Amino acid sequence: MKNQVAEQTLFGHPKGLFYLFFAELWERFSFYGMRALLMLYMTQYLMYDDKMSFGIFAAYGSLVYVTPLIGGIVADKILGYKKSIILGGILMAAGHFILTIEHPITFYSALALLIVGNGFFKPNISSFVGSLYQKGDERRDSGFMIFYMGVNIGGWIAPLLCGWLGITYGWHYGFGLAGIGMLFGLFVFNRAIKKGVFGKKGEVANKKLYEQRFAGIKTGQLVTIGAILMIPIMALIVKFNEFEHYLVWLVSFGIITILFVIFKQATKTERGQLGVLIYFTILACLFFIVFEQAGSSLTLFAERNVDLRGINASQSNSLNSFYIILLAIPFTWLWTYLSRTHKNPSSPFKMGLGLVLVGLGFLTFGYSSNYMNDTAQVPMLFLIAGIFIYTLGELFLSPIGLSKVTELSPKKFISFLMGVWFLASFYGHFFAGKIAQLTTIVEGEESIFTKGIFANLTPKITGLDYQEIQSMGEAHLQLYSYVSVFTGIGLVTFFIGLLAILIVPFIKKFMGGVK
């Protein structure tokens, strides 16, 4: 009976996909709902200054994407997907509810719970989607596209609802609603397990090891204890975030060592595929460094230098999710149609195109200054169009990347390599913060993106000359610093994307038949 349920399909996809869709929708609801309140809660309730709040926000934003490495290994080697996702979900729900107690101590503990919980939840639910499809199944990419739509429905409505509740009625209501969202996610997931929609997929990875006792405690329980012990460590890193760069070094060193070990054990085809995965992750890193400007420098650009009509600067952030919800279904049709007619472009091509598009999106912001008015504001159309273009890029790169991780990884390392993929966001957030800092005006100093190799191109695109702009006042200088940085990073990603497209035939050789 249960096997029959596991084989049922809905809209041509395994039924399990739709349960994972809703579980992830609710988890992302909680994640983005809480994130929408975080900066305001720190600056307005905890009374942290801007610098400290930015530091905490960036540390939290990046750390949630480093724990998937550990959550991935644990799922591959011991727990399997189902137990990992439930453990992660419980930790995250606890984090959200603890946040409703408004105090600095509970604040750091809650962030740490969310960081550790996400590590168990996010990579494993993504790998679980992949496990619903056989190798070579043409539906895989469109399945991930549907899943990604769930991510963004959650990401779109949560800031509106939690933000409104938190600001109008009190912080704890907003955080509480995020927690309820996470409980919904857990409920949907649990129901799917009970109904048997996943069949035998996602069970404990190593039953013998799971049951084995150390000092009288089962390994399965030791994992939970380990997760709880990680909480104070994460809380300390968030608090003392000025030392986070040591973690960046440590992770980089650790990851290179582990990948080296996996390489040694792998067959020749697997080595090629692993190489391609690492290459994809590096492209994704570049993508996210640029993309993650959205929450920081791009929002400030919108606030200060865009002639906004009908929306405020923070609302411009939800445009990205809105576009994805709008485009996900047409994209799913596109992939299905192109696969049927054997015209579906290869994944290295799509990844390259993703980078080209994020580059073009930021070049659109850069170009906007050609149309500035007397108060150094640019028409809103550029903001709307640029976000649309980089969202197209995201759709070519992010869901395709998830899909390929599940197809290119050796089976026993899938979740770990999913964790490696999410490192793109860890590095992305970290370096995005550094780039965003370059948009602050330093008296008498030209942008680094209008010097050296950028000296000719950037001013041509932005239409701004530093000497002239200096005499025009603060607002103009601020616009100059935004558009110069956006143009600079836009150019870099655009050209690297083009290069990635040029070398597609070479990359395909290492993919062992995977498209």
Indicate the residue among 154 and 490 with the shorter CB distance to ligand GLN: 154
Q: Which amino acid is at 146?
A: I
Q: Cβ 488 to ligand GLN, closest distance in Å?
A: 22
- Closest separation between CB of residue 292 and ligand GLN, Å? 8
What's the rounded Cα separation, in Å, for the pair 331 and 148?
A: 11
Rg (CA), the chain: 23
CA distance 7 to 200: 11
- The answer to whether 423 touches 69, Cβ cutoff 8 Å, is yes
Compute the least distance from the CB of residue 283 to ligand GLN, in Å. Answer: 13
**Judged by CB, which is closer to ligand GLN: 175, or 427?**
427
Nearer to ligand GLN, 244 or 270 (CB): 244
130 within 8 A of 204, measured Cβ to Cβ: no
From the CB of 144, what's the least distance to ligand GLN, in Å?
11
Q: Residue 328 Cβ, how far from ligand GLN at the closest point, in Å?
A: 12
Which residues does 483 contact at the CB level (< 8 Å), separation at least 6? Answer: 365, 366, 367, 368, 369, 462, 464
Task: Tell me how far, at minimum, the Cβ of 331 lies from ligand GLN, in Å.
Answer: 15
369 or 409, CB closer to ligand GLN?
409
Q: Which helix (H) or strand (E) holds 162?
A: helix 140-169
Query: Which residues have C-beta within 8 Å of that of residue 84, sequence separation ≥ 6?
Result: 71, 74, 75, 120, 121, 124, 415
Helix count (H) and strand count (E) of the chain? Answer: 21, 6
The residue with its CB nearest to ligand GLN is: 425
- The structure tokens 């109008």 sit at 168
C-beta closer to ligand GLN: residue 320 or 481:
320
Nearer to ligand GLN, 123 or 459 (CB): 123
Q: Whose Cβ is closer to ligand GLN: residue 78's or residue 125's?
A: 125
Contact positions toward ligand GLN, by CB under 6 A?
A: 28, 151, 155, 398, 425
Which C-beta is closer to ligand GLN: that of 273 or that of 425? 425
Q: How near is the Cβ of 124 to ligand GLN at its closest, in Å? A: 13
CB burial string 315-331: b at 16+ within 10 A, e below = ebbbbbbbbbbebbeeb
Least distance to ligand GLN, CB of residue 398, Å? 5
Could you tell me if 470 and 436 are in contact, meaning their C-beta atoms sit under 8 angstroms apart? Answer: no
Rounded to whole angstroms, how far apart are CA atoms 313 and 343? 40
